Structures are given as structure tokens and as C-alpha cells.
Homo-oligomer: A and B are copies of this chain.
Amino acid sequence: MDVKHLSSFQDFSLEKLRKHNVFQSERFFLDVYCLAPGQAQKPHRHDTSDKVYVVLEGRCRFRVGAEEEVHGPGAAVLAPSGAEHGVANDGPDSARLLVLMTPPPEHA
């Protein structure tokens, strides 16, 4: 059985946000992003893929379209196809996100 424990994806990088793949198929990927304070994923868009962020630990500032909101553990944020989106950990604590993308973008 293909089982992963989300608590096992804990490695952070000093350089930039660290992405850990949990599962991937032709239909989706599921990652854990580890963001140290100050790290971010710059706003970008995917015209034919939907993304969902779920906050596992910490708090992050999410941008979807023209909106920005800060959310903490248990929040699920939808970035639908075509919407510019990004996430930033304004600190002071580290943050971990479960990230779904479906389908995987062609450039990934």
C-alpha cells in the first residue's frame, strides 16, 4: 500500500521554499511545501490546472486573484485555473502546506 505520513515531510531549505512530493500521477500531484519565515511562492497562474493549499502548520498570506488573506492550520484555499495565486510566509514561525495540483501543469 502506498502510504506517506505528512509529518515526515519536515525539511526546510535556507535558500527557498522546499517542495516535497507526496504522490503524483498523470492526473495530479500532492506536495508538502515547507516555508521558513520570509519564504514565498511568487504569484503565477495555470490556465488549465486547479490548485488547493491546505495549511498543516503555521500561518501564510495567500493571494488568489486580487485578494490577499492570512490563514492558519486547517484552512483550505482554492486557486482555480486561470487565477493568479501565490503564498508567502510572513513569519515569525515556519509553515507547512499540503498542496494539490490537478492536473500537473505541463511545465512541471
- A residues with CB within 8 A of B: 1-7, 22-23, 25, 27-28, 30, 49-50, 52, 54, 62, 64-65, 67, 69, 71, 74-78, 80-81, 98, 100, 102-103
Q: Determine whether the beta carbon of A22 is less than 8 Å from that of B64.
A: no
| Total copies of this chain within the assembly | 2
Query: Binding site of A, secondary structure by majority: helix, strand, loop or mixed?
Result: strand
Q: Determine whether the beta carbon of B1 is less than 8 Å from that of A62.
A: yes
With contacts A30-B76, A30-B100 known, what are 16 further pairs, Cβ within 8 A? A1-B62, A2-B64, A2-B78, A3-B62, A3-B77, A3-B78, A6-B54, A6-B74, A22-B76, A23-B76, A25-B50, A27-B49, A27-B81, A27-B102, A100-B100, A102-B103
Q: Which residues of B contact A64 (CB under 8 A)?
A: 1-2
Q: Which residues of B contact A25 (CB under 8 A)?
A: 50, 80-81
Query: Could you jot down 19 A-B contacts, CB within 8 Å?
Result: A1-B65, A1-B67, A3-B71, A5-B74, A5-B76, A6-B74, A6-B75, A22-B76, A23-B52, A23-B76, A27-B49, A27-B102, A27-B103, A28-B102, A30-B52, A30-B100, A54-B98, A100-B100, A102-B102
